[in-house]
């Protein structure tokens, strides 16, 4: 099967975020393993959830592989800063606590048994593979029962409806995409924040400086952007109010 994947240049890597409460999943694929794809996928999931009326703080647990922060405090700090704009945070798994990945690893085993060991051999290119991956994700979220803690044999869709919250079931229809195509078309996740949140990063010696432009009339306070007071250095009054923050490298 792996030889078929290589010969037909199918995506070799699968990215998953799984909700602990409902066991719902968001999936993407890529040909390469890189932190650019890892952060872009995380941002895609967070923005997808925010666009579907999920307003609570989002906490994402991840390992320290090369596809994420690789144990780099500086990189983790930069990611925290950007994700803080949408009230999300990352929680790296400490060494020796692999059991915290049990839900994701169990999902990977199910993928190997029910999807990756069967369907790739019927795919001749990446886009046929993505179609089948989309169907597998939709089956997982809407038709496949789960017997984890508090699931009681219900599907993620049934568990979501049981909460009686104002979240549309369409949130479970996350689009399975090829991350290389996404980055090629609209840039990396840092570009998204620069475009939609007005964040501009400037590297000055050992400091990272970014300017935050206000685009609404919420008020001239850092909380309007979900940013803490302790990093509010000063405010310039121009035609568009501007906040400036200095983030020291290695001091997260």
> Do 38 and 125 have their domain in common?
yes
> Do 182 and 205 have their domain in common?
no
Domains of the chain: total:
2
How far is 23 from 157, CA to CA, in rounded Å? 9
Expressed as residue numbers, the domain containing 212 is 198-248
> Do 26 and 144 have their domain in common?
yes
> Do 149 and 32 have their domain in common?
yes
> Do 56 and 148 have their domain in common?
yes
How far is 93 from 180, CA to CA, in rounded Å? 27
> Do 65 and 169 have their domain in common?
yes
How far is 210 from 216, CA to CA, in rounded Å? 19
pLDDT digits (tens, 9 = 90+) for 170-222: 999 999 999 999 998 888 887 777 776 665 544 444 444 444 433 333 333 33
pLDDT digits (tens, 9 = 90+) for 56-86: 899 998 887 778 877 778 888 888 888 988 8
In a domain, 192, yes or no: no
> Do 121 and 182 have their domain in common?
yes
What is residue 196's predicted lDDT score, i.e. its pLDDT? 66
From 186, 216, 239, the end of a domain falls on: 186
Specify the range with the lowest mean pLDDT, choosing from 104-108, 122-126, 130-134, 234-238. 234-238
Dihedral over Cα of 236, 239, 243, 246: its sign: negative
In a domain, 58, yes or no: yes
> Which pair of structure tokens corresponds to residue 35?
């932190």
Dihedral over Cα of 186, 189, 193, 196: its sign: positive
> Do 126 and 173 have their domain in common?
yes
Residue with token string 């940013």: 227
């Amino acid at each position: 099967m792996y030889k078929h994947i290589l010969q037909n240049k199918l995506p070799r890597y699968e990215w998953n975020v799984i909700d602990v409460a409902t066991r719902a999943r968001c999936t993407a694929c890529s040909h390469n393993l890189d932190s650019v794809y890892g952060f872009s996928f995380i941002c895609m999931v967070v923005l997808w959830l925010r666009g579907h009326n999920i307003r609570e703080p989002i906490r994402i647990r991840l390992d320290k592989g090369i596809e994420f922060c690789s144990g780099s405090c500086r990189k983790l700090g930069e990611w925290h800063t950007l994700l803080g704009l949408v009230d999300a945070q990352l929680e790296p798994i400490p060494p020796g606590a692999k059991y915290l990945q049990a839900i994701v690893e169990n999902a990977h085993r199910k993928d190997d048994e029910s999807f990756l060991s069967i369907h790739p051999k019927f795919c001749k290119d990446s886009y046929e593979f993505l179609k089948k991956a989309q169907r597998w994700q939709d089956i997982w979220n809407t038709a496949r029962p789960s017997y984890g803690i508090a699931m009681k044999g219900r599907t993620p869709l049934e568990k979501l409806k049981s909460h009686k919250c104002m979240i549309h079931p369409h949130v479970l229809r996350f689009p399975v995409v090829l991350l290389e195509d996404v980055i090629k078309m609209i840039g990396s996740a840092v570009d998204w924040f620069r475009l939609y949140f007005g964040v501009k990063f400037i590297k000055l010696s050992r400091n990272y400086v970014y300017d935050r432009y206000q685009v609404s009339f919420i008020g001239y306070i850092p909380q309007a952007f979900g940013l803490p007071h302790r990093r509010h250095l000063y405010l310039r009054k121009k035609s568009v109010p501007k906040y400036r923050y200095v983030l020291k490298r290695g001091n997260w």
